[in-house]
Amino acid sequence: MTQQSTADAREIVFDHVVKTYPGSDTPAVDDLSLTVPAGEICVLLGPSGSGKTTALMMVNRLAEPTGGDIRIGGKSITDLDPIELRRSIGYVIQQTGLFPHLSIADNVATVPKVLGWDKKRIKERVGELLELVGLPVGEYGRRYPSQLSGGQRQRVGIARALAADPPVMLMDEPFGALDPITREHVQDEFLALHERIRKTVIFVSHDIDEAVKMGDRIAIFREGGRLAQYDTPRTLLKQPADAFVARFVGADRGLKRLTLTRLADLDLAPVTAAEGLPDLASDATLRSALSLMVAEGTDAVRVLDASGEVLGEASLDAVRKAGAA
């Protein structure tokens, strides 16, 4: 894989942004102020109708703000031509919006073609991107969208959004239509990809588990398009700002917090009971460790590294303490 990002990620600032749709008395987004640092993933989370999609679509001016300002890399979006703006922003939606009559390779090539790239450059770029999302062009490039699985189509949607190397990506429930297993897999792939390409990403979700997994920060919206809390997943789960957020993140927020720490992050104790403890890989989360202890009726797990070497033991007490930290 050779593809690396060349465009610098950019900070996105919502500055007292309001959107009231024509004919409506109440705003869909009401006085939204938040900053997404360059290169981070910000998840917009909240109940149906709380303004998440509207907030997202204002960034690429598919919806025009009626108040306040949005700046990308310090520049107000109102000073930019909407078409130019959209070319600098990758956009991924739930129904991938792939062109059914175009091959996978041609779908990915859409924006570079519009931008007038020469054929050789387009071909190279399409090859790189399909490789990057795990769909080698030799095998998949000539297929049509109907000849791929849902998860594969979603990956093509991501490749297409990345084609012109945009500094910003907007993703509106991109994995919402996938079954839970495929969804986990595509989420993992996207996170691994993001490690390498470091775009600034705004990601709409209605799923708290997805938000905790994907987000560097989470913005929780409440009815009326108002921001209830904007924080890292850890802070949000530990210190919900009010009863609405606490209810929204769920009564099991203590368990959810255990997904944020891996066994490898613990100070492991030396193995005391050589027999009878279940084994778990060090990259497993504390939640998996707890689940295994409950399932096996033990009060510790044995932790193994990638080569199967025993690293030590993680006790129930150690997991509980780390989860509370």
Ligand X SMILES: Nc1ncnc2c1ncn2[C@@H]1O[C@H](COP(=O)(O)OP(=O)(O)OP(=O)(O)O)[C@@H](O)[C@H]1O
Nearer to ligand X (CB atom), residue 128 or residue 172: 172
Nearer to ligand X (CB atom), residue 52 or residue 287: 52
- The contact pattern for ligand X, residues 44-63, with x = CB under 6 A and - = no contact, is --x-xxxxxxx---------
Whole-angstrom Cα distance, residue 140 to residue 243? 49
- Outline where the chain has alpha helix (H): 52-59, 82-87, 104-108, 110-114, 119-132, 137-140, 150-162, 180-197, 208-214, 233-238, 243-249, 253-258, 286-296, 316-324
Whole-angstrom Cα distance, residue 53 to residue 171? 9
| Least distance from ligand X to the Cβ atom of residue 28, Å | 3
The one among 8, 21, 113, 320 contacting ligand X by CB under 6 A: 21
| Least distance from ligand X to the Cβ atom of residue 206, Å | 5
Our CA angle for 206, 166, 139, nearest 5°, is: 85
Contact between 312 and ligand X per CB under 6 A: no
Q: Which parts of 104-123 interact with ligand X (CB under 6 A)?
A: none
Q: What would the two tokens of residue 208 be?
A: 């708290």
Three-state secondary structure call for residue 271: coil
- The contact pattern for ligand X, residues 162-201, with x = CB under 6 A and - = no contact, is ----------------------------------------
Whole-angstrom Cα distance, residue 302 to residue 315? 9
| Least distance from ligand X to the Cβ atom of residue 149, Å | 24
Q: Which parts of 208-227 interact with ligand X (CB under 6 A)?
A: none
Nearer to ligand X (CB atom), residue 2 or residue 24: 24
- 201 in Cβ contact with 233 (< 8 Å): no
How many angstroms separate the Cα of 298 from the Cα of each of 257, 264, 276, 293?
Answer: 21, 20, 8, 5
Three-state secondary structure call for residue 293: helix
Nearer to ligand X (CB atom), residue 62 or residue 137: 62
Whole-angstrom Cα distance, residue 79 to residue 95? 30
Nearer to ligand X (CB atom), residue 21 or residue 99: 21
- The contact pattern for ligand X, residues 270-299, with x = CB under 6 A and - = no contact, is ------------------------------
| Least distance from ligand X to the Cβ atom of residue 29, Å | 7
The one among 9, 12, 17, 28 contacting ligand X by CB under 6 A: 28
Nearer to ligand X (CB atom), residue 59 or residue 156: 59
| Least distance from ligand X to the Cβ atom of residue 114, Å | 26
The one among 71, 143, 206, 262 contacting ligand X by CB under 6 A: 206
Please work out the total of residues on this chain that contact ligand X, with binding judged by CB under 6 A. Answer: 12
- Outline where 133-285 has alpha helix (H): 137-140, 150-162, 180-197, 208-214, 233-238, 243-249, 253-258
Backbone angles phi, psi at 309, to 5 degrees: -70, 135
Three-state secondary structure call for residue 218: strand
Nearer to ligand X (CB atom), residue 51 or residue 166: 51
Binding residues for ligand X, rule: CB under 6 A, are 21, 24, 28, 46, 48-54, 206
